[in-house]
Structure 1
Amino acid sequence: MEYQFIKDPIDGFRLLISDEQANIARWLVDETGISSSAVNDLLIQVNQKTSAFTHDVEFRGKEMVMSIVDGEVAVRVNQHGVSDFEQERFDQEMLSVDTTNDLSECGLDDFVSLLQDWYLFLKDNRV
């Protein structure tokens, strides 16, 4: 997995990554916060939960959900934000919510490596 970290004076800290894995970057920046200590805490949680032989691990954020199953990480948009009324209206009007970019996946080893690099990047920039 290829990625690049950017410290932009206007947009702040960003992570550039492929379009297929854009939700991973969005989750990492928006849901975990821009703090090296928060990322370090997340690294510890991921390592503890994945080494405890748990089958499924899930981290729920405000808008996204990150899950780890069988050594694979999946980040998806939380679909619970659409009410039953809205879903019924969409169905009646034959509208749909675009879900083509709602899921990003990668291997656990790549994800942990990304977290470690993100932590070092934030730490080096004193965040």
Structure 2
Amino acid sequence: MDYQFNQDDLMGCQASFSMPHEAFGRWLNEALNQSLKLDEISLILTQAKTVLDRTKLSWQHTSDEYQLTLEDGSAQISHQCLSDEYGFEAESLEENFDFYDEEASSHCGLEDFIEALEDWQMFVAENSHRY
């Protein structure tokens, strides 16, 4: 999983992830991009590690727009617009919107997720004090 972090004077800390993991970057940018969220990042990391070592079978975290699911050695992030609550079903999305689906929902191995989130936590801690 390839990603990079940048500091933007207007948007603050920003993450971008390679295909097909773009949704992780969008989630970090929208839900966890400032120092006020460092405690939330720590909580997510703690829970991810308990799922990884099988102390817990699964764990879910819901933010304003995204749902994170950790289970079976993987992490999945999904934008709420893809849920049935909003009237969308996976079968109803046209093939031409596959690129959007990849930007709104991603999954990866739990170890890769933990590594990326630890890197993000450090980046936010070092760079968001400017705001």
Q: TM-score range by the shorter chain?
A: 0.7 to 0.9
Q: Residues 81, 48 of structure 1: CA spacing in aligned structure 2 closer, same or farther, 3 A cutoff? A: same
Partner residue of 2:86?
Answer: 82
Question: Residue 38 in 1 paired to residue 49 in 2?
Answer: no
CA distance, structure 2, for counterparts of residue 126 and residue 28 of structure 1: 13
Contact 2:58 2:70 in 1 (8 A): yes
1:123 aligns with 2:125: yes
Residue in 1 aligned with 2:113? 111
3-state SS of the aligned residue for 2:101? coil
The higher radius of gyration belongs to: 1
Matches for 1:4-15 after TM superposition, within 5 Å? 4-15=4-15
Tell me whether 1:100 sits opposite 2:104 in the alignment: no
Give, in whole Å, the separation in 1 of the partners of 2:65 and 2:128: 27
Return the offset for 1:96: 4.5
| In 1: Cα distance, 2:61 partner to 2:40 partner | 14
Structure 2 contact 6–13 (Cα < 8 Å) conserved: yes
Q: Where does residue 19 of structure 1 map in the other structure?
A: 19
**1:49 Cα deviation (Å)?**
4.5
Unaligned runs of 5+ in 2: none
2:68: which partner in 1?
66
Question: 1:44-87 deviations in whole A, cap 9, x for unaligned?
Answer: 2322354353322211222211111211111112214415xxx6
Give the number of the structure whose residues are more often helix, by fraction.
Answer: 2
Distance 2:113 2:128 in 1: 22
The within-5 A match list for 1:42-57 is 42-57=44-59
Q: Relative to structure 1, is the Cα distance of residues 68 and 41 closer, same or farther in structure 2, using a 3 angstrom cutoff?
A: closer
Give me the CA root mean square deviation.
2.5
Tell me how far apart the structure 2 counterparts of residues 33 and 7 of structure 1 sit (CA, whole Å). Answer: 10
- How many equivalent pairs are there? 118
> Could you tell me whether the CA contact under 8 Å between 2:51 and 2:58 is conserved in 1?
no
SS of the equivalent of 1:115 reads: helix
